[in-house]
């Protein structure tokens, strides 16, 4: 009698555990997992390559969950046994602009490798830059030359880049900018200056052009892995504002204007 | 007697049902965690692998191993070096290329979404230097101009009168910790002039006045421009390099 009660109790326990606990976890299809590996390079605010690319926080936003990892000193990061799906990556480090990348497809199985190619053609990696601390004190355009004065917290660079937003309407928003250019200025005679490439501008001769600018420096590419070229992924498109985001762009200057010359 | 037979039968039924309950419950409890099932099984993966030197046996016979979420499968290249995997399930794969006497390469990150035909990049395999090769010592490194061409000359411990082939890869960096794992420039170092190794200065991009450290390893110098990138580890590899056969480190000042 006692043995029969034990029999029944054991059967009931097993059945309850099996039905309620066995497959409680939500099953997504496809139910693959795999490692995801990527590479990050870090730069100072003037796009000089840093030696230590470690401690960049990489967050992967997936279906209902967020995963975190950090880069090692070589800039490599890895997620182990990440569930398959499409992810949004956020790469951030204190003092650096936060880079986002959407649409990272991870199928699962063997490792997904972001950016690097087996045969050395067109490698890409994430480039993270320190936020610009340079302040624009004064900017002007006279004839075909743009010139400016800047305040730096650290060493003064030989040259710098400006991201210039242009419009023929005053007080335009960034979305309303008619043209955006990436302009290099070289230090000479107490100020930074260079020629403007007017032939690219979609404006009429004699038009008053309004401009706002911010200091930004992008590297483009570096050499690594034994003289192989690695191109930087350093911007992203924001689908809410429909703007290309430059994570390390400095503060915008006040609006100024100039006349589009002949 | 009949009563006893009926009781035994009922006991048998009860015990059988109990066992059935246990099996069913165990199956429900442990059924999660089975091997994944592919959503699609119709992807095709094609590629080409060939030897960097002509072998009298032709280009066929290179083993290509495909490793993915549902296991591994392998095939051999045909006479032209071509291979095909059919009926693969969706997921990410890597390919491993190997042949006796040659270095082994791995190609990561090949993604099959289903209903697709994917072309893996062409791959070259290189012959591993024979076991009889040993790395001589490096005695010195100095700069010299010969017939208008500037060289860095590495003197080795090989006898001066000898002329022999030495399959070597040189690795250079600005730190004495230079190795095949950590370097700035690699250079094929097979002997050109008896016991010395000549490096054309135009190939070096170090700044003038920089002290440069050099180490050599036994390696097929044909791999020089084709050393492959292990994209999982993030390091350049030479598939024919023997990490146990290396020279001492010497240095020179970049002219």
Cα A161 to Cα A216: distance, rounded to the nearest angstrom:
5
ipTM of the shown complex: 0.81
Identity of the highest mean pLDDT range in A115-124, A195-204, B140-149, B193-202: B140-149
Nearest residue in B to A10, CA atom: B22
Chain mean pLDDT for chain B = 87
Residue bearing the bigger pLDDT, A262 or A103: A103
Nearest residue in A to B187, CA atom: A226
Cβ of A145 under 8 Å from any chain B Cβ? no
Query: Phi and psi (nearest 5°) for B215?
Result: -135, 150
The answer to whether the CB atoms of B113 and A107 lie below 8 A apart is: yes
Nearest to A107 among B25, B92, B122 (CB): B92
- What is the pLDDT at residue B165? 77
The answer to whether the CB atoms of A30 and B183 lie below 8 A apart is: no
Cβ of A155 under 8 Å from any chain B Cβ? no
Average pLDDT over residues B2-26: 71
Q: How confident is the model at residue B9 (pLDDT cuts 50, 70, 90)?
A: confident
The answer to whether the CB atoms of A17 and B107 lie below 8 A apart is: no
- What is the pLDDT at residue A24? 47
Taking the C-alpha atoms of A55, A57, A58 and A60 in order, what is their torsion angle to the nearest 10 degrees? 150
Helix ranges (H only) for A186-254 are none
The answer to whether the CB atoms of A116 and B31 lie below 8 A apart is: no
The answer to whether the CB atoms of B234 and A32 lie below 8 A apart is: no
Q: How confident is the model at residue B2 (pLDDT cuts 50, 70, 90)?
A: low
The Cα of B215 is separated from the nearest Cα of chain A by a number of Å equal to: 15
Nearest to A37 among B69, B113, B232 (CB): B232
For the beta carbon of residue B224, count every other beta carbon within 10 angstroms.
18
Nearest to A30 among B39, B186, B235 (CB): B39
Query: Does B177 score more than 50 pLDDT?
Result: yes
From chain A, the residues in CB contact with B67 under 8 A are: 110
3-state secondary structure labels for all residues of B162-229 = CCCCCCEEEEEECCCCCCCCCCCEEEECCCCECCEEEEEHHHCCCCCCCEEEEEEEECCHHHCCCCEE
The answer to whether the CB atoms of B26 and A39 lie below 8 A apart is: no
Taking the C-alpha atoms of B204, B207, B208 and B212 in order, what is their torsion angle to the nearest 10 degrees? -60
The Cα of A30 is separated from the nearest Cα of chain B by a number of Å equal to: 7
How many interface pairs between A and B have CB atoms less than 8 angstroms apart? Answer: 128
- Select the residue from B13, B186, B232 to test the A interface by mutation, using most A Cβ atoms within 10 A: B232
The answer to whether the CB atoms of B92 and A110 lie below 8 A apart is: yes
Residues near B225 by beta carbon (within 8 Å), at least 6 away in sequence: none
DSSP per-residue letters across A31-81? --EEEEEEEEEEE-TT-PBPS-----EEEEE-SS-EEEEE--TTSEEEEEE
pTM of the model: 0.82
DSSP per-residue letters across A167-200? ESSTT--GGG-SEEEEEEEEEETTEEEEE--GGG
From chain B, the residues in CB contact with A85 under 8 A are: none
- The string of pLDDT tens digits covering residues A23-60 is 545 455 567 999 999 999 999 998 999 999 999 999 99
- The string of pLDDT tens digits covering residues A135-187 is 999 999 988 899 999 999 888 899 999 999 999 999 998 889 999 999 999 99
The answer to whether the CB atoms of B28 and A23 lie below 8 A apart is: yes
Query: Does B93 score more than 70 pLDDT?
Result: yes
The Cα of B161 is separated from the nearest Cα of chain A by a number of Å equal to: 34
Nearest to A22 among B22, B31, B228 (CB): B31
């Amino acid at each position: 009698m006692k043995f029969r009660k034990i029999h029944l109790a054991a059967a009931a326990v097993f059945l309850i555990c099996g039905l309620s606990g066995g497959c409680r976890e939500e099953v997504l299809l496809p139910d693959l997992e795999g490692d995801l590996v990527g590479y990050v390079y870090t730069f100072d605010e003037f796009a000089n390559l840093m030696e230590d690319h470690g401690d960049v926080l990489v967050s992967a936003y997936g279906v209902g969950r967020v995963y975190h990892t950090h880069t090692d000193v070589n800039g490599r990061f890895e997620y182990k046994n990440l569930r398959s799906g499409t992810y949004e990556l956020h790469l951030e480090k204190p003092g650096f602009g936060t880079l986002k990348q959407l649409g990272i497809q991870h199928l699962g199985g063997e490792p997904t490798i972001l950016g690097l190619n087996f045969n050395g053609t067109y490698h890409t990696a994430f480039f993270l830059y320190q936020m610009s601390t340079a302040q624009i004190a004064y900017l002007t355009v006279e004839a075909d030359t743009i010139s400016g004065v800047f305040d730096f917290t650290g060493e003064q660079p030989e040259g710098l880049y400006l991201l210039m937003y242009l419009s023929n309407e005053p007080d335009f928003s960034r979305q309303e900018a008619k043209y955006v250019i990436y302009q290099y200025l070289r230090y000479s005679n107490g100020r930074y200056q260079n020629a403007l490439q007017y032939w690219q501008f979609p404006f009429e001769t004699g038009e008053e052009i309004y401009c706002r600018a911010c200091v930004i420096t992008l590297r483009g590419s570096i050499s690594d892995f034994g003289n192989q070229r690695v191109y930087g992924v350093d911007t992203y498109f924001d689908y809410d504002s429909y703007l290309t985001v430059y994570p390390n762009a400095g503060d915008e200057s006040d609006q100024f204007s100039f006349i589009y010359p002949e | 007697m009949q009563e006893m037979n009926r009781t035994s039968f009922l006991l048998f039924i009860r015990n059988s049902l109990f066992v059935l309950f246990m099996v069913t419950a165990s199956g429900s409890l442990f059924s999660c965690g089975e091997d994944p099932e592919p959503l699609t099984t119709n992807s095709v993966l094609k590629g080409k692998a060939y030897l960097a030197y002509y072998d009298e046996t032709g280009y066929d016979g290179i083993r290509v191993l495909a490793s993915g979420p549902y296991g591994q499968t392998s095939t051999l290249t045909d006479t032209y070096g071509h291979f095909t995997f059919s009926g693969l399930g969706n997921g990410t794969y890597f390919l491993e290329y190997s042949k006796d006497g040659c270095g082994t390469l791995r190609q990561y990150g090949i993604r099959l979404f289903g209903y697709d035909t994917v072309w893996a990049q062409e791959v070259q395999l290189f012959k591993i230097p024979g076991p009889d090769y040993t790395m001589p010592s490096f005695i010195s490194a100095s700069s010299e101009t010969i017939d208008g061409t500037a060289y860095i000359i590495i003197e080795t411990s090989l006898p001066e009168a000898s002329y022999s082939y030495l399959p070597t890869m040189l690795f250079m960096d600005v730190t004495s910790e230079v190795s095949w794992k950590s370097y700035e420039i690699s250079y094929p170092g097979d002997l050109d002039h008896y016991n010395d190794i000549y490096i054309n200065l135009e190939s070096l991009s170090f700044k003038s006045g920089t002290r440069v450290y050099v180490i050599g390893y036994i390696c097929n110098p044909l791999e020089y421009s084709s050393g492959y990138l292990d994209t999982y580890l993030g390091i350049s590899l030479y598939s024919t390099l023997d990490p146990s056969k290396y020279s001492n480190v010497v240095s020179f000042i970049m002219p």
